[in-house]
Structure 1
Amino acid sequence: MRYDLVIFDNDGVLVDSEPISNTILAAYLTELGHPTSYEDSLRDYMGAAVHRVHDLVLERTGKRLPGDFDDTLHARVFATFERELEAVRGVVDVLGKLKAEGVTYCVASSGSHERIRVGHRKTGLDTWFRDETIFSAQDVGRGKPAPDLFLYAAERMGVPPERCAVVEDSPLGVAAARAAGMDVYGFTAMTSEAELDGAQGYFDDMALLLGLLERPHL
């Protein structure tokens, strides 16, 4: 494999959390007087840290969200995770093959450390990721689309950006990886190739990922 490190996004790539979290976010914003559809939430917030929700609502309405917004949102999301969350189909096989081949991997997510760990415990992915291979937007000053998180993860893992491959499913994540000088592969299970423009390759089934990572650049 031509990469020394594979960096996975978490939500939508490792755990099938985007439908859950965006349904809850849209309903909660609507409840607070900011009408938001599921499609609106995917378009505006998929792949972003929660501060983006605050920023866009303030920018669009001139109103701030309640002080307990984050805690309430997370409580609702985590409660649903415990009932419904599953790992993305095929991702355990990918992790197993990377491990067998001696390829280092980690996760770099816009979600909080707590969100990542809750999801991994529920889906069994906690057996695949050690604490030192989990990176969150909480660890850096700016989340995606800024490159900070991916650069921080690469630095901590001891791999130069040009030797890293990022696996992403959101436009913000693709932009962040490109800004970090890393190759990025777009997972199109929920997002179109057009929305993930700029990726080195696209796949809609995890079984196809390793082939992309091993394919020489044209």
Structure 2
Amino acid sequence: MDVELLVFDCDGVLVDSERLSALVLREMAAELGLALTAADALERLRGRKVADWVAELAALIPGGLPADFTERFRARTAEAFDAHLTEIPGVRRVLDTVEVPYCVASSAPLAKIRHTLGITGLLPYFGDRIHSAYEVGSWKPDPGLFRHAARHAGAAPERCVVVEDSLPGVRAGVAAGMAVLGYAPPGSGTAPVLAEAGARTFTAMSELPLLLHRVREPGGTVRPLTPLHAR
């Protein structure tokens, strides 16, 4: 079985944006009298629709959140990205060498995806192969975004591989009928949760090319794919 499409999440997979977003969230929550740990802030953000975690946050703060909270959060994270955002270590080498067609499918707004990829110099790798949940109207863990990406590429879902770092993303990939590789870097503590949800986990982007040779089939078995260099 050959891989017809490699589907990357963006935040936390291509660009190291989640850490910065969580820092901004902690700062803004503290300004409203709510103390969040780094782990709590990151867990609220990772792979989720902004409107969902904002609604949860509002319920924790007496009187709710200011009406412009989301707008100010996006503006402050954009400033943090401009100053500090970097790509995920090793991902550029993957994009330079992998011989599988690839795209981005993210729950973030299209403008944010383009902004973060542009800052890190990764935008030219993707062209028009950038898919946003806001454009499709489907947010992870719903599989609609990944199915849309497969249709756009003319790929069969069962021949697509998703690269995700979040539980909603893994669930979306599994529900779409795709093999899922779960990026769980050292110290993240996410590997057990992602694996339980159906992902084959890995800790460094340098592992990704070899992992593309294997997909998980129904029943939990793992079969080899055609080596990329043999095509």
Contact 1:145 1:172 in 2 (8 A): yes
Secondary structure of 2:149's partner? helix
1:48 alignment partner in structure 2: 48
User: 2:37 is matched by which residue type in structure 1?
Assistant: S
Please identify, of 108-117 and 195-204, the stretch whose mean Cα deviation from structure 2 is larger.
Answer: 195-204
Contact 1:170 1:191 in 2 (8 A): no
Q: CA deviation at 1:185?
A: 0.3
1:148 alignment partner in structure 2: 144
Please identify, of 140-149 and 50-59, the stretch whose mean Cα deviation from structure 2 is larger.
Answer: 50-59
Residues in 2 aligned to 1:104 and 1:204: alpha-carbon distance in whole angstroms: 22
How many residues align structurally? 214
Q: 1:182 to 1:38 in 2, by over 3 A?
A: same
Show structure 1 runs of 4+ deviating over 6 A.
none
TM-score w.r.t. the length of structure 2 is 0.85
- The answer to whether the aligner puts 1:115 opposite 2:115 as a matched pair is no
Residues in 2 aligned to 1:61 and 1:153: alpha-carbon distance in whole angstroms: 38
Secondary structure of 1:194's partner? helix
Q: Which has the larger radius of gyration?
A: 2
1:211 alignment partner in structure 2: 210
- List gaps (5 residues or longer) in structure 2: 216-221, 224-231
Contact 1:7 1:107 in 2 (8 A): yes
Contact 1:45 1:52 in 2 (8 A): no
Secondary structure of 1:12's partner? coil
Residues in 2 aligned to 1:26 and 1:144: alpha-carbon distance in whole angstroms: 23
Tell me which of 192, 195, 214 is aligned to 2:193: 195
Contact 2:54 2:70 in 1 (8 A): no
1:166 alignment partner in structure 2: 162
Please identify, of 46-55 and 105-114, the stretch whose mean Cα deviation from structure 2 is larger.
Answer: 46-55
Q: Deviations over 1:104-141 (max 9, x none)?
A: 100011111111111111110012111x2011111232
Residues in 1 aligned to 2:96 and 2:8: alpha-carbon distance in whole angstroms: 14
User: 1:14 is matched by which residue type in structure 2?
Assistant: L
Residues in 2 aligned to 1:28 and 1:135: alpha-carbon distance in whole angstroms: 29
2:124 alignment partner in structure 1: 127
Contact 2:32 2:61 in 1 (8 A): no
Tell me the C-alpha RMSD between the 2 structures.
Answer: 1.9
TM-score w.r.t. the length of structure 1 is 0.90
Contact 2:26 2:38 in 1 (8 A): yes
Contact 1:45 1:53 in 2 (8 A): yes
